Amino acid sequence: MKIAVCIKRVPDSETRVKIAADGKSLDEAGVKFILNPYDEFAVEEALRRKEKAGAGEVVVIALGPAAAQETIRTALAMGADRGILLQADRIPTDGLEVAKALAAELKGAGFDLILFGKMAIDDYNHQVGPMVAALLDLPCVTTVAHLEIEGMKGVAEREIEGGVEVVEFPLPAVLTTDKGLNEPRYPALKGIMAAKKKPLEVKTVSLGSGGLDILALTPPPERKEGKIVGEGPAAVPELVRLLREEAKVL
Amino acid sequence: MSHVLAVLEQRDGALRKVSYEVVTGARRLADALGGSVDALILASGAVKGTEQVGRYGADKVITLTNPAFALYAPEGYARTVAERITSGSYGAVVFAASATGKDLAPRVAARLGRPLAQDVVDLAVENGAVTVIRPVYAGKALLKLKVTGTPALLSVRPNVFTPVERPKAGSQESAAAAGPAGRVVVKVIKAAEAGTLDVAEAPIIVSGGRGLKEPANFKVLEELAAAFAGRAAVGASRAVVDAGWRPHADQVGQTGKTVSPTLYVAVGISGAIQHLAGMRTSKVIVAINKDKDAPIFKVADYGIVGDLFEVVPKLTEEIKKLHG
């Protein structure tokens, strides 16, 4: 089974966001970058599918700056076979531009599965996977939390409000992965050593500017100072009164 | 090019609540653009609730039916919506940032070769162009974007665009949507337990963290949620989800759901930065924690310092009194 996993380098979820001097971007000074957590589920799923099939290849593809090579090495250390960096120094916020560049790389490469995390925890765009599928005219299921594949047919489960959709699809297909699909493995020392020797191809791409112009990146409005109503159960009646009469939410 | 298309959602032949929020967002754009609102519904037959859509500002309600459209059919829906947009010369199209809308909108956008702004919490028209605000880094920052060209495609975050009554004609129109459902087929929806609300859409969330001490103790939160008479869902912090105490679907935070309920009650949650990011846009936050220095109190409107196993049952009792 030949599987592509599209991954992204993102700031760690514990990052304190500081806005850069341009007022439109993140100040990256001192920020720790990681493999997007939702992409870990995609990498893990690809490795398990290949292991189950007993043959195949897992190729990780990242679009990003030169530093995203580190992110690819993380996926290689988990067990992926080779990596491709589509190097672009400026990534537009318009996800369709990213999807176009990835689709051009994936087109005609003969992948049985193309996996993405359901979204990146930096831009929250939640769109590149299904856009790539539409551009390549491949079947696609998003936010997959359970997956079964038999031959060239798959059944996926995805969470919707108040339930779970059971979805059938043919392969080759594009899937985006949600938390709950699997437990991603930690790269072992042996894997980390091996990853250094695995092939990583760097290709320069230039992306269009897209149709979304950033006007401003701002901190969210500060919540006004709250109050401690009191201590213990004795404070509850006053809390309920405040919720009714002051906040008017009950 | 100043009309706006609102793409609504139905389940089991009835409009979903978020549909009225979509119409409300679309109406705001249409007023600013000086155009009308068409509300589009894909279904297998007549849909309950469409007569209400005019009240929230739809000039026309269009139901497109296909026997395969009872459940969400990703490819068939995307093709049908894209065709409708192309034939209607719209200045903007508004989707719901729901599980279905977040799946459908990118497919439509790619078909049209247009950018998509997902999960917007505010929108406007400035100098003739649609501008939106959307949370990034899980709400640790807000990104303001200008959409160049038309149509502007966007999805609105549930619970943010409170439906506003703006009565319009709401004339009804229905037609068959020809064509195949596509290769990806939703066979069935396994419904959650009757009466359970999803944290992404619940107006009230009662969330628990490590302070609950063990999974069985979430019963006290379930009882509190039940006291809100069907309006509350139980959420969870990453720590307890990672520990396997609660399902992933309930997780609030940067690697879970970002929520904006009217009332968020954080119980035994210290307030890690990734959790705060996921719930800071709640209208009112209540924190119950035994540690008076817990960071959760910094974002809470109201706090009670104390043992949650004493405070929460008392709160349940008081809420029950309110609901008679």
Global ipTM: 0.95
Type of residue found at A246: E
Whether B10 and B153 share a structural domain? yes
Mean pLDDT of A26-48: 97
> Which residues on chain B are in Cβ contact (under 8 Å) with A162?
191-192, 196-198
Alpha-carbon distances of A19 from A94, B143, B234, B277, rounded to whole Å: 20, 11, 34, 16
Nearest-Cα residue of chain A relative to residue B249 = A159
Token look-up 């249409």 returns: B30
Specify the pLDDT at position B52.
92
- Cis previous bond, B151, omega within 30: yes
The pTM score is: 0.92
Q: Identify the band that residue B194 occupies on the pLDDT scale cut at 50, 70 and 90.
A: low
The beta-carbon neighbor of B145 closest among A180, A215, A226 is A215
Whether B12 and B49 share a structural domain? yes
Domain at B24, CATH number: 3.40.50.620
Q: Is residue B303 part of a domain?
A: yes
Best of B143, B201, B250 to disrupt the A interface (most A CBs within 10 Å) is B143
**Encoding tokens for residue B42?**
């894909």
Neighbour-count burial of B217, counting CB atoms closer than 10 A to its CB (0-12 exposed, 13-18 middle, 19+ buried): middle
Specify the pLDDT at position A222.
85
Strands (E), A124-245: 140-150, 153-160, 163-170, 173-177, 200-204, 212-218, 227-231
**Interchain contact A184–B (C-beta under 8 A):** no
β partners of residue B124: B131
Whether B67 and B114 share a structural domain? yes
Model pLDDT for residues B3-34, shown as the tens digit of each residue: 999 999 999 999 999 999 999 999 999 999 99
Q: Is residue B285 part of a domain?
A: yes
Whether B156 and B222 share a structural domain? no
Q: Which of residues 216-275 of B touch A (CB under 8 A)?
A: 247-249, 251, 254-256, 258, 262-263, 272-274
B137/A130 CB distance under 8 A: no
A167/B187 CB distance under 8 A: yes
Q: Determine which helix (DSSP H) or strand (DSSP E) holds A62, and give its type and residue range.
A: strand A57-64
Q: Is residue B221 part of a domain?
A: yes
B255/A38 CB distance under 8 A: yes
**Interchain contact B17–A (C-beta under 8 A):** no
Q: Which of residues 137-196 of B touch A (CB under 8 A)?
A: 137-149, 182-192, 196
Model pLDDT for residues B230-245, shown as the tens digit of each residue: 899 999 999 999 999 9
> Which residues on chain B are in Cβ contact (under 8 Å) with A236?
304, 311, 314-315, 318
Whether B31 and B123 share a structural domain? yes
Whether B137 and B247 share a structural domain? no
The beta-carbon neighbor of B119 closest among A126, A140, A145 is A126
B189/A95 CB distance under 8 A: no
Residues 6+ apart with CB under 8 A from B12: none
The neighbour count for residue B210, using CB atoms within 10 Å, is: 15
- Cis previous bond, A172, omega within 30: yes
The whole-chain average pLDDT of chain A stands at 96
Q: What angle do CA B125, B126, B129 make, to 5 degrees?
A: 70
The neighbour count for residue A47, using CB atoms within 10 Å, is: 21
Whether B65 and B150 share a structural domain? yes
**Encoding tokens for residue A245?**
């009469």
**DSSP characters over A15-60:** PPP-B-TTSSSB--TT--EEE-HHHHHHHHHHHHHHHHHT--EEEE
Is the distance from CB of A31 to CB of A15 less than 8 angstroms? yes
Radius of gyration of chain A (CA): 21
**Interchain contact A32–B (C-beta under 8 A):** no
Best of B301, B310, B323 to disrupt the A interface (most A CBs within 10 Å) is B301
Q: Is residue B189 part of a domain?
A: no
Model pLDDT for residues A48-64, shown as the tens digit of each residue: 999 999 999 999 999 99
Whether B144 and B12 share a structural domain? yes
Q: Is residue B193 part of a domain?
A: no
Specify the pLDDT at position A90.
86
Q: Is residue B56 part of a domain?
A: yes
Instruction: Give the domain extent around B89.
Output: 3-176
**CA gap A123, A134 in Å, rounded:** 21
Q: Identify the band that residue A16 occupies on the pLDDT scale cut at 50, 70 and 90.
A: confident
Best of B136, B250, B257, B317 to disrupt the A interface (most A CBs within 10 Å) is B136
Specify the pLDDT at position B295.
94
**CA gap A1, A142 in Å, rounded:** 20
Token look-up 């894909």 returns: B42
Q: Identify the band that residue B132 occupies on the pLDDT scale cut at 50, 70 and 90.
A: very high
Model pLDDT for residues B159-188, shown as the tens digit of each residue: 899 999 999 999 999 999 999 999 999 999
Last residue of a domain, one of B158, B176, B194: B176
Best of B72, B118, B122, B137 to disrupt the A interface (most A CBs within 10 Å) is B137
Per-residue pLDDT for B195 more than 70?
no
Q: Identify the band that residue A89 occupies on the pLDDT scale cut at 50, 70 and 90.
A: confident
**Interchain contact A214–B (C-beta under 8 A):** yes
Per-residue pLDDT for B78 more than 80?
yes
Whether B143 and B28 share a structural domain? yes
Using a pLDDT cut of 70, give the percent of chain B over it. 98
Whether B152 and B219 share a structural domain? no
B274/A217 CB distance under 8 A: no
Per-residue pLDDT for B1 more than 80?
no
B115/A223 CB distance under 8 A: no
**CA gap A112, A1 in Å, rounded:** 6
Nearest-Cα residue of chain A relative to residue B202 = A161
Whether B234 and B275 share a structural domain? yes
Mean pLDDT of B30-45: 97
Radius of gyration of chain B (CA): 21
Per-residue pLDDT for B321 more than 70?
yes
Per-residue pLDDT for B281 more than 90?
no
Alpha-carbon distances of A139 from B247, B259, B260, rounded to whole Å: 28, 30, 32
Model pLDDT for residues A166-206, shown as the tens digit of each residue: 999 999 999 999 999 999 999 999 999 999 999 999 999 99
Domains identified in chain B, total number = 2
Nearest-Cα residue of chain B relative to residue A132 = B110
Which of A181, A235, A242 has its CA nearest to residue A5? A181
Domain at B235, CATH number: 3.40.50.1220
Q: Which of residues 76-135 of A touch B (CB under 8 A)?
A: 93-96, 99, 121-135
Can you list the domains of chain A with their CATH numbers? 2-204 (3.40.50.620)
Largest Cα separation within chain B, whole Å, is 62
**Interchain contact A146–B (C-beta under 8 A):** no
Nearest-Cα residue of chain A relative to residue B272 = A14
Q: Identify the band that residue A221 occupies on the pLDDT scale cut at 50, 70 and 90.
A: confident
Q: Give the three-state DSSP class for B68.
A: helix
Whether B314 and B170 share a structural domain? no
Q: Is residue B276 part of a domain?
A: yes
Q: Is residue B184 part of a domain?
A: no
